[in-house]
Amino acid sequence: MNTLRTGLLMAAMTALFLFVGFMIGGEAGMLIALALAVAMNAFAYWNADKVVLRMYKAREVDRASAPGFYGIVAQLADNARLPMPRVFIIENEQPNAFATGRNPQNAAVAATTGLLDRLSSEEVAGVMAHELAHVRNRDTLTMTVTATVAGAISMLAQFGLFFGGGNNRNNPLGIFGVILVAILAPMAAMLVQMAISRAREYEADRVGAEISGQPLWLASALERIQAAAGRIDNDAAEANPATAHMFIINPLHARALDGLFSTHPNTAERVRRLRAMAGDMGSPARPWG
């Protein structure tokens, strides 16, 4: 059901992109928008993981340089029957983590120093199992594509606002229609992106709990990350809010706009579901290892 819903939402995002192009430039504008979408998604498919890891100044580690963290990821990848992903650490005090990559064979997982320093081994395992669930579900590609299209919609709408489009015969409102598109289209794109991300987060929580076998590890981690993320800045994320959906917990501080367009479901509800899952499994929390 989540896969069908995500597919429909991605189709809606693409349709919105083509609509913006049509309203600004008619049929020619729609064709240009389509060509732009194809080009941007091709770039995102091959290069988005490198771009985002460079953006956060992530450094790759191995078993020799980070034996504990690397070992946790290796064991969980084996549990999930996934290829071993590349492992990165980000120098940032805010506890958080994300996964990226176009497919399981080219995946990477990254955690901040804040997460590794503040959470127990069990909680780190719960978080990384969640990120590997994104890899197994191929959410990393889905979210990269939606973020790229959402950004392109905003860019195209602003292009129409600043360079004309009010004379397009397909737009009966003229320049006022262009202004409406420039304002409303990016908001609509953000809402669709938010809906996709929230659906995938719940699913990754569930699958991640199955990979680790311990839903309570992730439940505890989510509570601790949420509490710390509200107090500790993540300057790189604040400068690049389009990447916020990649993290396990929203890295942006809950200002009015951040809260309105949050890409993450309510943490308390996520924790509630995980605790219910632990009850259904009937196994008490055990230590890592």
Is residue 13 a contact partner of residue 150, using CB atoms and an 8 Å limit? yes
Estimate to the nearest angstrom the gap between the alpha carbon of 244 and the chain centroid.
Answer: 6
Catalytic residue chosen out of the listed positions 27, 91, 93, 131: 131
Note the helical H segments in 213-266: 215-229, 235-239, 256-260
The whole-angstrom separation of Cα 24 and Cα 38 is 19
Identify the bridge partners of residue 87 per DSSP, sorted by sequence position.
61, 109
The whole-angstrom separation of Cα 64 and Cα 66 is 6
Concerning whether 131 is annotated as a catalytic residue, the answer is yes
The whole-angstrom separation of Cα 243 and Cα 107 is 17
The whole-angstrom separation of Cα 156 and Cα 33 is 8
The whole-angstrom separation of Cα 69 and Cα 271 is 24
Is residue 106 a contact partner of residue 47, using CB atoms and an 8 Å limit? no
Q: Which secondary structure element, helix H or strand E, spans residue 120, and what is its range?
A: none
Is residue 261 a contact partner of residue 194, using CB atoms and an 8 Å limit? yes
Q: For 85, phi and psi rounded to 5 degrees?
A: -80, 165
- Catalytic amino acids? 131
